[in-house]
Amino acid sequence: MNATAPRKGATRAADIPADVLDALSRGELQSATLAEGLALDQARLLRTVFPQLSQQVLRRTDTACQLGILKRMAGVGAALLEELGNDGIAQCQGHASDTVRGWACFMIGAQPGLALPSRLAAIRPLADDTHFGVREWAWMAVRPHLAEELDDAIAHLTKWTTEPSERLRRFASEALRPRGVWCAHIAALKRQPERALPILSPLRGDLSIYVQDSVANWLNDAGKDRPGWVRELCAQWLQGHPTAATHRICQRALRNLK
């Protein structure tokens, strides 16, 4: 099977053909849907990609593979980093399997003592990956570090809002959603969502639907704690002659506040 050829995947684990699941678990095929990414056998994939791993690391990763998907990815990434070091990041990052590239994201997230600019530089190519799943793993893997250094993270990601790649612009918004998906909330942004305006404001007229949805979801998150602030911000953005993109963002941002 071609690992990069586009195809229509199964949306339920029960519907994934056995040969597809086998190819996914050997790293010969990229997942086409979330269901496929969740269903593949990561323990088998790990042994296929890295047959030289020590028994100690295999025991750790086998334990991690029994956990929920985010802890599974993080556990495998941390174990691989400890065993393979930075060379392992490059190996994973260049692999055809989106799950293996996802491990690279969490290896970068697990690197100790890495300054925030360096961590963002390391995650950048994965944040711009062609596969939807890798892009999600990218922001999830570094989000704890962004939350710990929130002001610096906002300052750095503000620069990403002008990137030519819609994937990088979307990362700037998605990585700091107050509530996010499959991740810990950022309490500071739930209390003070206005702190993220340097990121949100430049994206309010973004032509990419991918970016628009992220900004709208960011504001929808904020509306659960600061509904008045979201209403006021959208009212400001809609003054004058707003673009169709801004209209769409605000409509989606306010969908639960009407």
Distance CA 100, CA 45 (A): 8
Burial 34-47 (b: 16+ CB within 10 A, else e): ebbbbbbebbebbb
In this predicted structure, the answer to whether residue 5 has a pLDDT above a threshold of 60 is no
Delineate the domains of the chain, giving CATH numbers in brackets: 16-121 (no CATH), 149-258 (1.25.40.290)
CB contact set of 236 (below 8 Å; sequence gap of 6+): none
In this predicted structure, the answer to whether residue 1 has a pLDDT above a threshold of 50 is no
Reported confidence tier of residue 92, pLDDT bands at 50, 70, 90 = very high
In this predicted structure, the answer to whether residue 108 has a pLDDT above a threshold of 90 is yes
Distance CA 127, CA 236 (A): 31
In this predicted structure, the answer to whether residue 49 has a pLDDT above a threshold of 50 is yes
Q: What percent of the chain has pLDDT over 70?
A: 97
In this predicted structure, the answer to whether residue 3 has a pLDDT above a threshold of 60 is no
Reported confidence tier of residue 44, pLDDT bands at 50, 70, 90 = very high
pLDDT computed for residue 191 by the predictor? 97
Give the 3-state secondary structure of the chain. Answer: CCCCCCCCCCCCHHHCCHHHHHHHHCCCCCCCCHHHHHHCCHHHHHHHHCCCCCHHHHHHHHHHCCCCHHHHHHHHHHHHHHHHCHHHHHHHHCCCCHHHHHHHHHHHHHCCCCCHHHHHHHHHHHHCCCCHHHHHHHHHHHHHHHHHCHHHHHHHHHHHCCCCCHHHHHHHHHCCCCCCCCCCCCHHHHHCHHHHHHHHHHHCCCCCHHHHHHHHHHHHHHHCCCHHHHHHHHHHHCCCCCCHHHHHHHHHHCCCCC
**Residue range 115-152, pLDDT digits in tens:** 999 999 999 999 999 999 999 999 999 999 999 999 99
Q: How many CB atoms lie within 10 A of CB 155?
A: 14
pLDDT computed for residue 7 by the predictor? 64
Rounded mean pLDDT of the chain?
95
Distance CA 45, CA 39 (A): 12
